[in-house]
Structure 1
Amino acid sequence: MGGIGISLSRRPIWSTVYCSLRKPQTHRVWFSCSSKLSANPDRQAREAKLKLPDHPCRTRFAPSPTGYLHLGSLRTALFNYLLAKATGGQFILRIEDTDQNRLVQDAEEKLYQDLKWSGLSWDEGPDVNGPHGTYRQSERLHLYHKHAQTLIEQGKAYRCFCAPEVLEEHKQIQNEAGQPTLYPGTCLHLSAEESNSRAAKGETFAIRFKSSKTPTVIQDIVYGNYRKKDPEDDYIIIKRDGFPTYHFANVVDDKDMKITHVIRGAEWLISTPKHVELYNAFGWQPPQFAHLGLLVDAQRQKLSKRHLGVNMSWYQDRYILPETLLNFVSLLGWRGRDASGGKKPGGNGDVMTLQDMIDNFNLKFSKGDIIVSLSKLSFLQKEHLKRLSSQLESNPTRLLQLKESLLVPFLTKLNEIAPTSKLLGDPIPNPEILSNTNYLSEIFKTIIKANEQGPEVSDQEKFDSTFHALKYLFYSIPDSVLKEELLSNMQFKSVTLLDEPSTLTDAMQYLVQEIENIPSENWNKDAISRVLTERKSAIGFVKADDESGTVTKNTWKFCRWVMLAGEEGFSIPSSMEVLGREETMKRLMAAKAVAVARETDK
């Protein structure tokens, strides 16, 4: 699998970054930079700007609980996290819930769950004590009002008493006339006395910032100097409901929380002059900004909630490892490099753990839209599974991580379908399987081995197939499933036992006796394996389509039918150990009963 290719135009404004080997196509322009302002500095200065600061950085991820964590917001969180950790700084989680009308009830709690699932933890946040809390904007209104009042007193902001319907009518008139829909300045020239009097009488108002008459130039780590063509309108900083707008709250919060760097999507670049103008009005030093290219599909359309692979649940449902997803996201506009500027030492430069990303992080982000192709995901998943397979014995923490990211989601889905599924019997009360490191290791070795082999295939198909074979470790096998498997996939003309013609019933009775002879105190996969290996040729059969009458000796095949209804993957001695002696004997007796019924019906 190849790496990431980058295509830049001669005068790049939006270039195209691919996460696959597709041929780059034309890019799309949605803002402009002055050629004078965007002239490239010399290479040495540019490289210096992209290196990590020599001081601890404070970064933040500030989502709004109006929706769920998606690919783009995870990328934003990751890069802010990496910068903080790479410099020995702090990563802050802040909830921006000022848009009260659009809040989704469980979005905040789901956000915490998804971030923790991904492996990103925060040093300060709503659920973590910190010196700059509270970290939920709806609980910081007093701070915004205080700073807004300061701007009013300094003549840098003013109250706006205009009714929304009046402003909307003005906006429609301007639109129809082909004019910019700017605020008409109705309340700009109100005297302080009149403004204070109307406010004191309880008249509802918003607060507007008095913008500069000339465009503000901002510095961006990715896009260099940026300036909009026209100055900003007098925009609202405090809404009529008393809540701040995003533009105002994030500036006040970033200053109060001592944020040094803001890494966010390029859709916010066009708003950054507003933010810098606010910093200037307060006399504050702005943080450094780095804007990331938009994530788009193959048609250059911004990824929306309708696209597959946008929401975290899409990856979790497909058993994608958290480290695989973080690795995939890290390649969307950034490339891990070592100190010399080359690929990180050892192996494929695209395959990185979270620690690898921290160790190699820098501020070298690609300009332009980034086309998201999921083709890289399968390759990364396979590589991370391969790496994990060598760590299972020595690192119990890895087992617990795999349990949470792979086994728990599988069991959740299994438990949801079990009540109506004809493929599943009763649940098996076996809590030890989820706590015994030996059992967990055996399960994940099976999964990893299955997914390391073969050509590139869908992770969904691969994992669904592998996990499908594990279902009978948690649920009993219905007699109907055993019978169907016997008729459909274990077709044979006759059975032999100890080289003599026999019946399936006698063969099952033989297995019952041999397994029953294993003492309870010796019930483990090694003892079970010895017994079955010594008897691997005891049971034989002639295939239904074999005219020669050749006997295939394969006791294991019958054991797999008994224990897992023929499902491939998990080893038979391990499944017997995991299920325990009692459940194993139940399945042997159930299989014998099916065999008796089959031969009785003939």
Structure 2
Amino acid sequence: MTTPSTAPDATPRLRVAPSPTGDPHVGTAYMALFNLAFARQQGGRFVLRVEDTDRARFNPTSEAQLYDTLGWLGLRWDEGPDVGGPYAPYRQSERLETYRPYVERLIADGHAYHCWCSSERLAAMRDRQQKLKQPTGYDRLCHGKTREERAELEGFSETPVVRMLVPDDAPTTFEDVIRGTVSAPRPDDQVILKADGFPTYHLAVVVDDHEMGITHVVRGEEWISSTPKHVLLYQWLGLTPPRFAHMPLLRNENKSKISKRKNPWARLAWFQEQGYLPEAVVNFLGLLAYPPAKGEDGSDVEKFTFEEFSRDFAWSKVNTVGPIFDLKKLDWLNGQYIRDLELGDLTSRLVPFLQADGVLGESPTMGELARLKSIAEQIQTRVNLLSEAAPMVRPFYVADDELELAQDALDGLKDDAPAVLDAAIAALDGLHKPDGVLGENIAANQWHAPQIEAALREAIVEGMGIKPRFAFGPLRTAVSGQRISPPLFESMEILGKPSTMARLRGLRERLG
């Protein structure tokens, strides 16, 4: 047994300890953020520990997904299974021999005992207690008995578990960094070592946090009821407990707990798949249980970096009321981050989503990427998610005769659409491809957005007397195939004159 320090003046060591039982939960990132923010502020260490003792629910791909998603968010750990560290190994399944001496000591000191009850007997016991409206909990049939004595009774299992022997006067209050003095129900005789030789969470978390020198245990409020069990184990083993901080649980709008079964966005990877920016997700998670800073004018500053969040962090500011996971707020915030991206950065981030949608190939050419950068400039203020870009970008990469015209765009055309298209074709025919000279030297009849707009306004708005809001609908449909698209004149410039004219003529022919 090692004895790392968890004294108040020790260097802060915090950890996040997920179980690899499926796709990583967004709550894991939420906990990791608050742990990491405090660790960085205090010059401490942040540890990733994989708690894989639940072998029935173990998912072999979950650990890799955990590294990918937390890494995508930039919530990097100092020690962990993949990077090592002074307290390795960091997977509980590789630490089984670590727990055995602690179990033996608890048994020797009378704080734990073997239990040979079968799962069938335990289930029947719980059913009986519930029917009689009694508190559920183990009835201590095995306590004080030898294996031979217990084998003579019903419901015997050959391989025992080990249970805590919780006294009637067990302490049920503890100090919480966020909540102050907290009271919890008296625990029952919790299993601490399973029949398969693996420790349960309650033993492993105490042993590992001690062995790894964890000074602050930050976890969800659902663990409040288990903390008295952990406090007892610390006392019985003569160990200094860490400081506890129980974060409020994330909630749906109806105040229910979010779950991966009911909420697709409870999967951490979902945010990456939908095109949220990692910095926006981190920002949003910070806002869920922490008040925004105040600006010079007293208004809330809701957009901040991780470094700013960490610098300002204080446990006393954490709101204990379960925060509502408002996706509309996240969409808005993500849009703000997209607006602030440098154009080259936005272009790079769009590429994987456009490849996934088949807009771009696996190895886009320099010309395709240059065109994408021009398109990105036009749609930057029109998307809140990177995944929303594909429908707006696709028309720029399809052949003119393969452009699909959305039915709602066609249905929205008025009777004057053929005449509008005729006027547009005639007006634009006089513009020519630019010679590369920019600025004040651009000729009045070159193919640039301002010249395109001027020619079309003269021909349609002034020449035909159609109000601007109605004048360009047929052109938008012809060029993009959609009722709503990136800015029309800039789109025509990016497409170039040959494609633009071909699309205008194509729709005109279709309308007869």
Q: What range describes the TM-score normalised by the shorter chain of this pair?
A: 0.7 to 0.9
Give per-residue Cα distances to partners, 1:25-70, cap 9 Å, x unaligned.
xxxxxxxxxxxxxxxxxxxxxxxxxxxx876421111111223333
Letter in 1 for 2:499: R
Letter in 2 for 1:225: T
Q: Secondary structure at the match of 2:122?
A: helix
Moved more, 119-128 or 166-175: 166-175
Shift, 1:285, TM fit: 0.9
The residue aligned with 1:359 is 311
Task: Tell me if structure 1 keeps the 8 A contact 2:279–2:305.
Answer: yes
Give per-residue Cα distances to partners, 1:177-229, cap 9 Å, x unaligned.
3333332323321459999xxxxxx9412122233342223221122223445
CA RMSD of aligned residues (A): 4.4
Describe the shift of the 1:194–1:477 C-alpha distance in structure 2 as closer, same or farther (beyond 3 A).
farther
Q: Secondary structure at the match of 2:114?
A: strand
Q: Secondary structure at the match of 2:56?
A: helix
Describe the shift of the 1:477–1:65 C-alpha distance in structure 2 as closer, same or farther (beyond 3 A).
farther
Distance 1:589 1:163 in 2: 80
The residue aligned with 2:153 is none
* Equivalences for residues 159-238 of structure 1 within 5 A: 159-190=114-145, 203-216=158-171, 217-230=173-186, 232-238=187-193
Give per-residue Cα distances to partners, 1:468-504, cap 9 Å, x unaligned.
32223444454453698789659545479xxxxx887
Letter in 2 for 1:361: F
Shift, 1:138, TM fit: 2.0
* TM-score, with structure 2 as normaliser: 0.78
Instruction: List alignment gaps of at least 5 residues for structure 2.
Output: 1-7, 151-156
The residue aligned with 2:4 is none
The residue aligned with 1:377 is 330
Distance 1:270 1:483 in 2: 56
Describe the shift of the 1:64–1:474 C-alpha distance in structure 2 as closer, same or farther (beyond 3 A).
farther
1:130 maps onto 2:47 in alignment: no
Shift, 1:576, TM fit: 6.4
Distance 1:98 1:104 in 2: 11
Structure 2 residue corresponding to 1:322, chosen from 263, 266, 278: 278
Identity of counterpart residues, as a percentage? 31
The residue aligned with 1:22 is none
* Equivalences for residues 519-538 of structure 1 within 5 A: 531-532=447-448, 533=450, 537=454
Structure 2 residue corresponding to 1:481, chosen from 396, 400, 404: 404
Task: Tell me if structure 2 keeps the 8 A contact 1:540–1:552.
Answer: no
* Equivalences for residues 32-47 of structure 1 within 5 A: none
Describe the shift of the 1:345–1:509 C-alpha distance in structure 2 as closer, same or farther (beyond 3 A).
closer
Instruction: List alignment gaps of at least 5 residues for structure 1.
Output: 1-52, 196-201, 338-342, 419-425, 452-458, 497-501
* Equivalences for residues 90-489 of structure 1 within 5 A: 90-104=45-59, 106-190=61-145, 203-216=158-171, 217-230=173-186, 232-305=187-260, 306-307=262-263, 309-313=265-269, 315-316=271-272, 318-335=274-291, 343=294, 348-364=300-316, 365-386=318-339, 388-389=340-341, 392=342, 399=345, 403-404=348-349, 408-409=352-353, 411-412=355-356, 414-415=357-358, 430-432=364-366, 440=373, 442-450=374-382, 459=384, 467-479=390-402, 481=404, 489=413
Distance 1:349 1:547 in 2: 46
Moved more, 473-482 or 267-276: 473-482
Describe the shift of the 1:233–1:540 C-alpha distance in structure 2 as closer, same or farther (beyond 3 A).
closer
Describe the shift of the 1:345–1:191 C-alpha distance in structure 2 as closer, same or farther (beyond 3 A).
farther
Shift, 1:296, TM fit: 2.8
* TM-score, with structure 1 as normaliser: 0.67
Distance 1:372 1:428 in 2: 36
Task: Tell me if structure 2 keeps the 8 A contact 1:207–1:237.
Answer: yes
Task: Tell me if structure 1 keeps the 8 A contact 2:163–2:191.
Answer: yes
Describe the shift of the 1:76–1:434 C-alpha distance in structure 2 as closer, same or farther (beyond 3 A).
farther
Give per-residue Cα distances to partners, 1:546-596, cap 9 Å, x unaligned.
99845999x99999777644663268668866x8xxxx5873685487379
Q: Secondary structure at the match of 1:449?
A: coil
Task: Tell me if structure 2 keeps the 8 A contact 1:336–1:361.
Answer: no
Distance 2:121 2:466 in 1: 91
Shift, 1:260, TM fit: 0.9
Distance 1:287 1:586 in 2: 71
Describe the shift of the 1:569–1:56 C-alpha distance in structure 2 as closer, same or farther (beyond 3 A).
farther
Distance 1:576 1:100 in 2: 60
Q: Secondary structure at the match of 2:381?
A: helix
Letter in 2 for 1:384: Y
Shift, 1:117, TM fit: 2.5
Task: Tell me if structure 1 keeps the 8 A contact 2:30–2:285.
Answer: yes
Moved more, 485-494 or 315-324: 485-494
1:75 maps onto 2:27 in alignment: no
- Number of aligned residues: 488
Distance 2:125 2:138 in 1: 8
Give per-residue Cα distances to partners, 1:72-109, cap 9 Å, x unaligned.
33221211111111111121112222212223454333
